[in-house]
Copies of this chain bind each other. A is one copy, B any other.
Amino acid sequence: MEQLEYQEGRTEIAHLGKVPLIRRLTTDFPICNPSTLMGVGDDCAVVQPSSESEMLTLITTQTLVEGVNFDMMYTPLRHLGYKSAAIAASNIAAMNGTPRQLLVSIAVSNRYSVEALDELYAGILLCCKRYGIDLVGGNTETARAGMTLTVTAIGEVSRQAITYRRGAALHDLVCCTGDLGSAYAGLLILEREKVTYQANPNFQPDLASYDYVLERFLKPEPRLDIIQLLAEKGIVPTAMTDISKGLADAALHLCEASHCGCEIYEEHLPIDYQTSRVCSEMSSNLIPVSCALNGGDDYELLFTISQKDYDKVKSLTEIHIIGHITEEGMPASLVTPQNTTITLRAQAFQSNQP
């Protein structure tokens, strides 16, 4: 009967922000086990099974909330299942690792039928099969409303290959994979169609010309192909993270952990033509580079490599060299084609993106 005791000096969670909140909550926790190599503060926790073991264990967990991280109006459950598994796998990739096991814990209201959960799990199965991941656990719980999904992935990486967010050094090259901003462009289309549908439920959307950006949003792929490619080419990035909340957010995390700044060249950002087309359709104020910097859900990789690896990377079409690391004290910044330097800020668009 004492639940109201803690209301003195009330601070709103929204006021503090997510990253400072996690820091505040976890700052007092000591690390006491020698097996714990990395706790809170990177894409995964890192555990060494024994002090001699060559392979390290990676663990990541993430919660996705209906109405916050996904909208059931336009998210087929099969896609949601696939995407949940892909997000967890992407966090393992972000440490240069390979996902091996997955646990899925869901809380669902009675609005969902068993057949709906069959669809969700069919999507999870598809992603697991594609990437060789074993579903090894989880549970289902009743929820008062909606659906909350928590995915936990276990992966492995060798001591030689593990890549943290920290580790970028002065003059390292900044690279990213795939293209950026397209998932956000897909979300914009889905939100637009939702509004139209709510106004007129007989409306039949024509989404065919947006197939690429829609797939990017609804069914992202963890870049495990890049992890394999880097291994084949003998490249170990000096630092890495995945791009889940926009390039700006990822670059800021990487620079903060590595105690450095960076310069990213706007004209080198990989942006798909469909992303540009969606932007021009949506608003004269929305430029594609904003989608790349502040959109979310791309699940591409951002990493840095030593200049000595330049020759190995330059011909790889799925890897783009977009900038370089600057010294500590310098900001993470964007250099425009007009040679103006803009300091990056974390301002991921607030929308239905995980």
Q: Residues on A close to B: CB < 8 A?
A: 1-3, 5-16, 18, 21-22, 24-26, 28-33, 35-36, 38-40, 44-45, 47, 49-50, 53-55, 57, 59-69, 72-77, 100-101, 103, 105-108, 110, 112-119, 121, 125, 128-129, 132-146, 148, 150, 152, 154, 156, 193-194, 197, 205
Cα–Cα distance between A60 and B139 once the two chains are bound (Å):
10
Residues of B within 8 A of A101 (CB): 33, 35-36, 45, 47, 59
Known: A110-B12, A113-B7. A136 touches B63 (CB 8 A): no
B14 touches A62 (CB 8 A): no
Knowing A103-B61, A105-B150, A145-B145 touch, does A33 contact B134 (C-beta < 8 A)? yes
Instruction: Give how many copies assemble into the complex.
Output: 2
Please, how many angstroms separate the alpha-carbon atoms of A69 and B135 in the complex?
25
Distance in angstroms between the alpha carbons of A40 and B102 in the assembled complex:
10
A22, chain B: closest CB distance, angstroms: 6
Q: Are B29 and A135 in contact (CB under 8 A)?
A: yes
Chain B residues positioned under 8 Å from A117 (CB to CB): 13, 21, 25
Further pairs besides A18-B139, A29-B128: 7, Cβ < 8 Å: A12-B110, A24-B114, A28-B121, A47-B136, A68-B142, A68-B144, A105-B150
Interface pair A115/B53, CB less than 8 Å apart:
no
On chain B, the residues within 8 Å of A75 by CB distance are 3
With known contacts A1-B205, A77-B3, A115-B7, A68–B108 Cβ distance under 8 A? no
- Complex CA–CA separation, A100 to B72 (angstroms): 37
| CB neighbours of A53 from chain B (8 A) | 49-50, 53
Q: Report whether A31 and B134 are in contact in the complex, using a CB–CB cutoff of 8 Å.
A: yes
